[in-house]
Structure 1
Amino acid sequence: MNKLKLSGILAVIALFAMASCTQKKESNSPKNLQIDNKILAQNLAQKFIITDGHIDLPYHLKSMGFLDLKNTPTLVDGIKGDFDFPRAKKGGLDAPFMSIFIPPALQKTGGSKELADSLINMVEHITTSFPNHFGLASSPNDVIKNFKSGKISLPMGMENGSPIEGDINNVKYFFDRGIRYITLTHGKVNEICDSSYDPVRTWNGLSPFGKEVVLEMNKQGIMVDVSHISDSTFYQVMELTDVPCIASHSSVRKFTPGFERNMSDDMIKLLAKKNGVIQINFGSSFLTYKYEKRLKERDSLKRIFMKENNLTGKDSLAKAFNTKWLEENKLYADVEIVADHIDHVVKLTGIDHVGLGSDYDGVGNSLPTGLKDVSGYPNLLEELLNRGYSEEDIEKICYKNVFRVWNAVLDHAGKNN
């Protein structure tokens, strides 16, 4: 074969190689990768169990007037709020922990246990009213069983330990009623411990009774939830507990300096060292300090505008001001900032100690763009895929990390009862 002919053949081969490389590069372009990740995220949301550490549906329904259970709204058709069956199915949500929220005011007036029982009754009523759609879940195995049959599990966590009402036997009582975590306090100090929101520090951490409660929760198989508690309470819980803990709906303090309700890097690392999990809260005030700053700016400008124009809050021009301001200014956090919080925890501790704890129906109109209700989880999974998280990583974030803690707590209780 002469050199001229050989060089021609080599040139053709080179052209094919270049075309192949160009085609391959085009298929992996950022635009195509985003399209692929969007589809993959939607598929993963349906493939993996998604558990969310905190959804305030029961108290939301109570606020809507459904506590007596006579007119339970059709959750299977859609209701006002952040959660219902159609949107949960669209988003791939399979195991939302129903928050049995007890307002701190009842610590003074009484009635905490009574309200807790009524909200638990409500959750049970939902599962008996819609047995093909919802099921109770007392363990990860229950969630898996419901998932395989197409049902959404409704495990329960109690937000505020005040329904224990000073009686250690009520820890077992609430375990028997289906409660699988207890947030030790809420917005005020109670008889168990101090609150991150309350400047009054009665106990400088856990009370003597609170220490009994933590150990009894370990014994009975109820996860200790360190959301809402003061820093000193957190460190005392970490010293005392025999099993991993969760922060069912907390975020990273690095992004909200001075906000004690979120967790510091040191706390996150210690929670992870004890094999626990922080579940990221979606409320904008939990995600960025800029949210509160922007709110103050808007409110200040609105006051000036209303005064100059002699308006009240009910006037259409005042409402129009809000609409226009929102169009021109970024008030809420977005799905990228939620992913930033997850990134930060992973950098501090590895992939095994982070999960999701949205606080849907609990943080009002402060949810991030892209995560405005329970249909939005695929948007977050897509963002994580865009950042290089593997399917295995996402599976851990969606449920495996929390299931590990949940099983560890139940196993410990089983060996000690």
Structure 2
Amino acid sequence: MQKNYLSLIVLALLMFSNLVTFGKPQNRVIPPKSIRHTLDKDELLRKKAEELAHKFIIVDGHVDLPYRLHGKMEDVSVQTAGGDFDYVRAKKGGLSAPFMSIYVPADLQRKKGFSKALADSLIDMVETLVKQYPDKFALAKSPADIQANFKKGLISLPMGMENGSPVESNLANLQYFYDRGIRYITLCHGEDNFICDTSYDTTNTWRGLSPIGRQVVREMNRLGIMLDCSHISDDTFAQVVALSKAPVIASHSSCRAFTPGFIRNAPDNLIKAMAKKGGVIMINYSSMFLDSVSNKTYETKRTHLRQWQKEHNLVPKDSAARAYEALYDKEHPTPLTNVERVADHIDHVKKIAGIDYVGLGSDFDGVGPTLPDGLKDCSQLPNLIYVLLKRGYSEKDIEKICYKNVFRVWNKVAEVAKHF
């Protein structure tokens, strides 16, 4: 009988403890076992994503930090208020090898000497970052350099040139920029240039590559500079893939299958052609590259602004044009997609070409306002890895996406150069 009384007392105390914690009433809800299992699995996947983001080298094909600092100098050794990249956020997200974009606007190519001068100044800027913060950043001219820097805990700053206009029709300048550390060149930008036609211009000056453009392709192969097919027209893209003796890249492009009519993105046939030659497409994170709704909104804005600037005899850099664009953006915001959509593009490349032919090319500091939810800056890279893990991607798959695919291309380009 005494045992029964004791049991009742213990039971009462247990029931009381479920209702009261530190003197405050609590509604203790125990989720069903299936939900607890899902929550536990999700937590483990997020932890795994964080782990892999720091275990693997992560190469980003395109970060516009140099041009961002050209506009407004900031100390990126600490966390900055603006922009998408700095040392603190890169370390948090595991970004270990962002290609510094040596971006040269298309309008400079009409002024002799201006393109090359800007390219040199931006390369100087990257070199200065390394000299100022040798405990944080290091230059990298090869995959081996990146691996060595990674072991030391340093963030590598390889360089790619966005727009071939600094070459200025002088093939000797390709050797010059190679010696300065340039390891890929995006052949053009927003306008046709002396090398080729762009995706953003309907002029179709050369119907692809120009005569000297074909020489540029050969010389880049000879030197070991990767050919970047982002920004170029479909005709140019097809001709570059066919003419190049080495695999090529698209440093910051997404899949046109998701944005019909947006020529800046790569169509399936050219992604397959590039893959067949061993190349890699590096997915751009901008919502306007990822999603048709965002893209159509952006294209409407772009058309409207061009017409408005023309009517008011202005160019995009003019203060009045910038003010009007800011007002337009406020009244007509571009709808944003999310990190899942980046994974959709990776899925698509994997489906049509294979896991060996896709990488990451954020366009951080170049498309800031249009970055998707979950990938607002480089600190959030584990979110993408988490989505890939959730979709069944293996560690081996993720390692390829993070760096192995682009390392394969880069090493092959260097190998081809040795046989010229």
**TM-score, L = length of structure 1:** 0.84
Q: Which position in structure 1 is the counterpart of 2:316?
A: none
Specify every segment of 5 or more residues in structure 2 that has no aligned partner in the other structure, as ranges.
1-32, 303-320
Q: Which position in structure 2 is the counterpart of 1:75?
A: 76
Question: Which residue identity does 2:154 align to in structure 1?
Answer: K
Specify every segment of 5 or more residues in structure 1 that has no aligned partner in the other structure, as ranges.
1-24, 67-72, 300-312
Structure 1 residue 363: deviation in Å? 1.1
Q: Which position in structure 1 is the counterpart of 2:162?
A: 159
**Matches of 1:252 and 1:216, distance apart in 2:** 29
From 249, 252, 265, the counterpart of 2:252:
249
Q: How many residues get paired? A: 369
Question: Which residue identity does 1:41 align to in structure 2?
Answer: A
Q: Which position in structure 2 is the counterpart of 1:208?
A: 211
**Matches of 1:265 and 1:36, distance apart in 2:** 35
**Matches of 2:287 and 2:190, distance apart in 1:** 18
Post-superposition CA distance 1:284-311 (Å, at most 9, x none): 1100110144568999xxxxxxxxxxxx
Question: Which residue identity does 2:69 align to in structure 1?
Answer: L
Question: Which residue identity does 1:49 align to in structure 2?
Answer: I
Secondary structure at 1:278 match in 2:
strand
Post-superposition CA distance 1:77-112 (Å, at most 9, x none): 122211000000000000000000000001112310
**Matches of 2:298 and 2:102, distance apart in 1:** 29
Is 1:32 matched with 2:32? no
Q: Which position in structure 1 is the counterpart of 2:389?
A: 385
Q: Which position in structure 1 is the counterpart of 2:152?
A: 149
Q: Which position in structure 2 is the counterpart of 1:372?
A: 376
From 45, 49, 62, the counterpart of 1:41:
49
Contact (CA 8 Å) 1:295, 1:331: kept in 2 or not?
no
**Matches of 1:217 and 1:61, distance apart in 2:** 28
From 391, 405, 409, the counterpart of 1:405:
409
RMSD value, Cα: 2.6
Is 1:188 matched with 2:188? no
Contact (CA 8 Å) 1:140, 1:407: kept in 2 or not?
yes
Post-superposition CA distance 1:194-217 (Å, at most 9, x none): 000001111000000000000100
**Matches of 1:404 and 1:296, distance apart in 2:** 35
Is 1:354 matched with 2:355? no
Structure 1 residue 185: deviation in Å? 0.3
Q: How does 1:162-177 map to 2 (within 5 A)?
A: 162-177=165-180
Q: Which position in structure 2 is the counterpart of 1:87?
A: 89
CA shift in 2, pair 1:28/1:267, >3 Å: farther
Post-superposition CA distance 1:340-383 (Å, at most 9, x none): 00000000111100000000000130000000001011000000
**Matches of 2:299 and 2:233, distance apart in 1:** 26
Is 1:179 matched with 2:187? no
Question: Which deviates more from structure 2 when the two are superposed, residues 285-294 or residues 139-148?
Answer: 285-294
Q: Which position in structure 2 is the counterpart of 1:105?
A: 107
Question: Which residue identity does 1:78 align to in structure 2?
Answer: Q
Question: Which deviates more from structure 2 when the two are superposed, residues 399-408 or residues 28-37?
Answer: 28-37
Divergent runs of 4+, >6 A: 296-299
**Matches of 1:164 and 1:351, distance apart in 2:** 34
CA shift in 2, pair 1:367/1:205, >3 Å: same
Secondary structure at 1:233 match in 2:
helix
CA shift in 2, pair 1:297/1:229, >3 Å: closer
Is 1:335 matched with 2:339? yes
Is 1:363 matched with 2:367? yes
CA shift in 2, pair 1:414/1:382, >3 Å: same
Post-superposition CA distance 1:119-150 (Å, at most 9, x none): 00000000000000000000000000000000
Is 1:57 matched with 2:65? yes
Q: Which position in structure 2 is the counterpart of 1:22?
A: none
**TM-score, L = length of structure 2:** 0.83
**Matches of 1:181 and 1:282, distance apart in 2:** 20
From 390, 415, 418, the counterpart of 1:414:
418
Post-superposition CA distance 1:228-275 (Å, at most 9, x none): 000000111111000000000000000000000000111111110000
Q: How does 1:294-309 map to 2 (within 5 A)?
A: 294=297
Secondary structure at 1:388 match in 2:
coil
Contact (CA 8 Å) 2:288, 2:298: kept in 1 or not?
no
Structure 1 residue 115: deviation in Å? 0.6
